[in-house]
Structure 1
Amino acid sequence: MTTTGFHGAQLDFSKDMSYGDYLQLDKILAAQTPLSPDHNEMLFIVQHQTSELWMKLMLHELQAAVAHVATDRLPEAFKMLARVSRIMEQLVHAWDVLATMTPPEYSAIRPYLAKSSGFQSAQYRRIEFMLGNKNAAMLKPHEHRPELLAEVRAAYDAPSLYDQVLQLMARRGIAVPAAHLSRDWTQPHAADDGVKAAWLTVYRDPQAHWDLYQMGEELVDLEDAFRLWRFRHVTTVERVIGFKRGTGGTGGVSYLRKMLDVVLFPELWSLRTEL
């Protein structure tokens, strides 16, 4: 039977792929399986599943952005990095929903979580590594899943986004210290006066280095959004569980607070004092 509406439009979807088919909604909407009898566990599951979906898109964009930077295709990279920043903003607001869960509500579902923890998110770890926060200890939580470990290790072994940008600057004739152009990519970037001097060359004459100047600001936008995401994570966890240890054995809030001190692109922040 065909239904007609919307000024005579034919609403017969029986012969073509439907909205639900395209999005595979049957699979997605069947993936929420609470383990406890508590009403609030559905919120906890949906919050984390949707965050993982946003992170999947973030990785899709970051991987392409890094590839474009490596091949000097900056307009495409700018678009992708701007999108990553907007995704992070979306994730910041997602914490507002989880923050409606009170401590007694979380305590009711916590025993059912066993050792599962956001600390084990392979996608989040790949994002951290791609942004330069390298730490070999963060490979260990994924050792029980060889296929995931391989993906996380690949991000750990590869040059970060910032490493690729510094190589880009060198290709454009900016004097970047050689130690930052060929090094052990598994080590986090360390703040360097020579790298700051390279960025100051760009920022003191934006017209002459406009695309590198724009790249610098894209990176600052990205880290700014990432800091907000981390901060909102800390405050939400403290609001819901206080200073209890995390389910995965981490220090919970104390560990997350330490992460707030991590600076991904230090020279882009410190140079502002000298402009």
Structure 2
Amino acid sequence: MTPDSHVSRDPEPAAAGGREGPALDGDRAGEYLRYARVDTLLSLQHPRTSEPAEVSFIITTQVMELLFTLIRQRWEAARDALDADEVAGAIAELRRGTQVQDVLVASWELLATLTPAEFTRIRESLGDASGFHSFAYRHLEFLLGEKSAAMVRQFRSTPEVRAGLERALAAPSLYDAALRLLHRRGFAVPPERVERDWTRRYEPHTEVERAWGEVYAGERGELFELAEALLDTAERVTRWRHRHLMAVKRAMGAKPGTGGSSGLEWLRASAERDVFPELWTLRTNA
């Protein structure tokens, strides 16, 4: 008997089908940690209260911020593809984006069981912090045509963030790029929708609705597929906004929001505002 024969040893991991399991030698585990920065990621949760639910609140917020960033990447790629007349590429990016949006909407489930008492114990620690202060989400709103210079001014203490938002504010939105594509393809999109002050919120136009109506009249082709991909994107935005509304209503009722908004009233108005409006109104007026 050797000196260490009494020590319990873990069995070698068995792989399916009789194949060898993963290699456990070397510094492969360390490489995984370094690649995904897992140690850094897991060090970013710093609750300010003794309320156990605060950890879920923080992690959910962080997950949403990561998903905002990924969706922005997809939407910007779609917009750039439209500018380059690469409609198939734009559709592919929008489809990838809707998959991320589905995860984003589902992430509200992580807060579904947050009770009013639990949120009250967390809320004081938030101070004035609010989702309205998410610059990643603001980038998404700007890409949807929901432009607001006032939303940029709140970032005056973070120059790099503000500069990025100012660029996004002054750039055409995803929907603007789609309308400019329709114009180049010969559809009667009015000139004031082809070239305009991109810093202003998009407002619907009857001629734009008519142009999309012509696209839908064919019920086929890449522009029809683009319209449907845009609508899928818009529908998920509304789902996200509605889940946000319901999560707030469930956790804090009609109390004012932490960011100084009217809370439910603000969120309800947002949930009722259609993204890419003419793609919705043409269904009523067709």
The TM-score normalised by the length of structure 1 is 0.94
Deviation per residue, 1:57-85 (Å, 9 max, x gap)? 11111111111110011222111111222
Match of 1:11 in 2: 23
Match of 2:146 in 1: 133
Contact 1:196 1:268 (C-alpha < 8 Å) held by counterparts: yes
* Aligned partner of 1:254 among 259, 265, 276: 265
In structure 2, relative to structure 1, the CA distance for the partners of 1:229 and 1:191 (3 Å cut) is same
Consecutive unaligned residues of structure 1, counting only runs of 5 or more, are: none
Match of 1:54 in 2: 67
Q: Per the alignment, in what secondary structure is the counterpart of residue 249 of structure 2?
A: helix
What number of residue pairs does the alignment pair up? 273
Match of 1:170 in 2: 183
In structure 2, relative to structure 1, the CA distance for the partners of 1:13 and 1:160 (3 Å cut) is farther
Q: Per the alignment, in what secondary structure is the counterpart of residue 35 of structure 1?
A: coil
In structure 2, relative to structure 1, the CA distance for the partners of 1:163 and 1:10 (3 Å cut) is closer
The CA deviation at 1:251 is 1.2
The CA deviation at 1:165 is 0.5
2:191 is the alignment partner of 1:191 = no
Q: What are the equivalent positions in structure 2 for 1:29-44 lying under 5 Å apart?
A: 29-44=42-57
Q: Per the alignment, in what secondary structure is the counterpart of residue 224 of structure 1?
A: helix
d(CA) in 2 for partners of 1:171, 1:155: 23
Q: Which moved more, 1:136-145 or 1:180-189?
A: 136-145
The CA deviation at 1:267 is 1.1
Match of 1:229 in 2: 240
In structure 2, relative to structure 1, the CA distance for the partners of 1:103 and 1:206 (3 Å cut) is same
d(CA) in 2 for partners of 1:37, 1:129: 37
d(CA) in 2 for partners of 1:245, 1:13: 56
The CA deviation at 1:10 is 5.0
The CA deviation at 1:234 is 0.3
Question: If you compute each CA radius of gyration, which structure gives the higher value, 1 or 2?
Answer: 2
Match of 1:144 in 2: 157
Q: What are the equivalent positions in structure 2 for 1:61-76 lying under 5 Å apart?
A: 61-76=74-89
d(CA) in 2 for partners of 1:247, 1:50: 20
Contact 2:237 2:275 (C-alpha < 8 Å) held by counterparts: no
Deviation per residue, 1:181-230 (Å, 9 max, x gap)? 111011122111111111111111234xx111111111111111100100
2:259 is the alignment partner of 1:264 = no
Q: Which amino acid aligns with 1:142?
A: F
Match of 2:229 in 1: 218
The TM-score normalised by the length of structure 2 is 0.90
The CA deviation at 1:18 is 3.0
The CA RMSD over aligned residues, in Å, is 1.7
Q: Which amino acid aligns with 2:162?
A: L
d(CA) in 1 for partners of 2:285, 2:217: 10
Consecutive unaligned residues of structure 2, counting only runs of 5 or more, are: 1-8
The CA deviation at 1:13 is 4.5
Match of 2:97 in 1: 84
Q: Per the alignment, in what secondary structure is the counterpart of residue 260 of structure 1?
A: helix
